[in-house]
Every structure is written in C-alpha cells, then in structure tokens.
Amino acid sequence: MSDPPTQPGPTPEFLLLLTSHQSTLYASISALLGGVEGAQDVLQETNVILLQKAGEYDPARGFVPWAVTFARFQALAWRQRQTRDRLVLDDALFAAVADRLAIEPVAPNRRLDAIEGCLQKLLPDWRSLIDARYVHGESVTDMARRLGCSVNAMSVTLFRIRQTLLDCVNATLAAEGNV
C-alpha cells in the first residue's frame, strides 16, 4: 500500500513574503472591514488559505495584490457572517474599497497609527459619539433619542466628526510624507 503523494509545503521564500507582509495584509483587511473588529480573525483565516495556496503563487507576480485577493474573499465571508448580527459596510462600498486596495494597498501601520492618534485628539464628547456609533454599533436614531436631538442633527454631527478625523489623518500622513 502506498501513501498518496504529499504536496510540498510553502518554500522559505514564500514564508518570508507572508510574514513580512502581515502588517500590510492586516491594514488592508481593516480597511475592507471598515475597522479593526474581526481583522485579526480574517488575517488568520487568510494566512491559512495563503499557506494552502502557496504552491499556486507565481513569484513573477506581486505578492501583496495576490494575497489581498484572498483577504478580500475572507473579509467578504466574515462580513456575511456578521450581517446577521448588525449593519456593516454595504456591498458597493466594500467592492470599491477592495478594488482600490487591489491597486494601492494600505501602508501597514502608518494609517492606523494616524487614525489612533487623531482619535485621541478628539474632544471627549466627540470620542464618545464615535465609540457609541462605530465601536458599539448604536444607531443614529438611538443616539439622537438618547441625546435629545434630531436624527438629522446627529447625522450632521457624526459627519463633522468624520470630516475632522479625515482631515487630521490626511494632515498627519502628509507631515510624515506618506500620502
């Protein structure tokens, strides 16, 4: 009785590529998911798939775009599992982010560091609104009711906070030469 032929494992070169691009993959996955929630899980799922597909990787092709393709599908699967629980990025926005990442991957930690730094600079009241909406998933309607304002006023406030964060992140990255 003979054993079935085993597939060779990933090459040391492939493992080096995979490990050296973990932060880029994490940043890309975070961008696809619209935040860091679930990003570590999706990264691990992506790593498993990439290791299984290592024999199919063509070194003549860029590693990051190839790997981000698998990350995109894993992020989509994660999103589908999450939609049962709460609202996430709509499919059109997800596709737009994924398409952009295929062309221009997110710089590993610079953007996340800039976002974290800018979140720390927010007024405490604004930070609590961001946390309520995007960390805890509170609806705009519930937030407006809780704070005694109209839904429109709450939407405008959240827009202004997001715009302030975007301006801060862009200024931070520009100052670092990473735009």
Q: How confident is the model at residue 37 (pLDDT cuts 50, 70, 90)?
A: confident
Pick the CATH number of 12-103 from 1.10.10, 1.10.3470, 1.10.1740, 1.10.260: 1.10.1740
Q: How confident is the model at residue 102 (pLDDT cuts 50, 70, 90)?
A: low
Question: Is the distance from CB of 168 to CB of 113 less than 8 angstroms?
Answer: no
- What pLDDT, on a 0 to 100 scale, did the predictor assign at position 153? 92
More confident residue, 30 or 3: 30
The domain spans of the chain are 12-103, 110-176
Chain center to CA of 8: 32
- 91-103 helix and 63-82 helix, angle to the nearest 10 degrees: 170
Taking Cα atoms as reference points, which of 24, 23, 34, 29 lies closest to residue 45? 29
Question: Is the distance from CB of 27 to CB of 110 less than 8 angstroms?
Answer: no
| Token output for 6 | 């085993």
Pick the CATH number of 110-176 from 3.40.228.10, 3.40.50.1220, 1.10.10.10, 3.40.50.300: 1.10.10.10
| 85 has pLDDT over 60 | no
Instruction: Tell me the C-alpha to C-alpha distance, in Å, between residue 31 and each of 24, 60, 96, 113.
Output: 11, 26, 11, 13
More confident residue, 50 or 6: 50
Give the tens place of pLDDT for each residue, 103-162: 565 555 677 788 888 988 989 999 899 888 877 888 889 999 999 999 999 989 999 998
pTM above 0.85, yes or no: no
